[in-house]
Amino acid sequence: MTNTKGYRRGTRYMFSRDFKRHGVTGLSRYLKVYKVGDYVDIKGDGAIQKGMPHKSYHGRTGRVFNVTKHAVGVVVNKRVRGRILPKQINIRIEHIKHSNCRLDFIKRMQQNEELKAKARAEGSKVELKRQPVGPRPAHFVSSKKTKPEIVEPIPYEFIA
């Protein structure tokens, strides 16, 4: 048999609800505030079919460019053959959530601002760039309790 060509083909597990999470969606999902420029994760909720994104956008992260009463417009990168195209899609808020992808960056920026203010007050300069981890310091390995083990290949034995 050939593959079906439906809009939702291959989504049996993708759009199914989690174990013991079936039923009506909680109200807290509707009370979240989305603003233009926010990063959101797209995850289709099988309980609400209205405003559901296509399966190719499931699990993607995009940026909000428009906010309406029940939905948001999101710019998402989609690979089409050899190119990556920015696609603008409208998704209801049941199918998105705030992304954690920028939390580390925002935290680092806040720390940098504090360090800059502190250095400005002291009149000194501070290095704010991230530095790669350097080599570990030198140390001696003791062989009093454990003797060194010689590693060598096992000799080949021909069995006739």
Q: What is the pLDDT of residues 89-104, one digit of tens each?
A: 999 999 999 999 999 9
Whole-prediction pTM value?
0.76
- pLDDT for the residue numbered 59: 96
- pLDDT for the residue numbered 55: 95
80-90 mean pLDDT: 96
Residue 110 has pLDDT above 80, yes or no: yes
- Burial of 120-159, coded b for 16+ CB within 10 Å and e otherwise, reads eeeeeeeeeeeeeeeeeeeeeeeeeeeeeeeeeeeeeeee
Residue tagged 């800059």 (tokens): 116
- pLDDT for the residue numbered 20: 93
Residue 160 has pLDDT above 80, yes or no: no
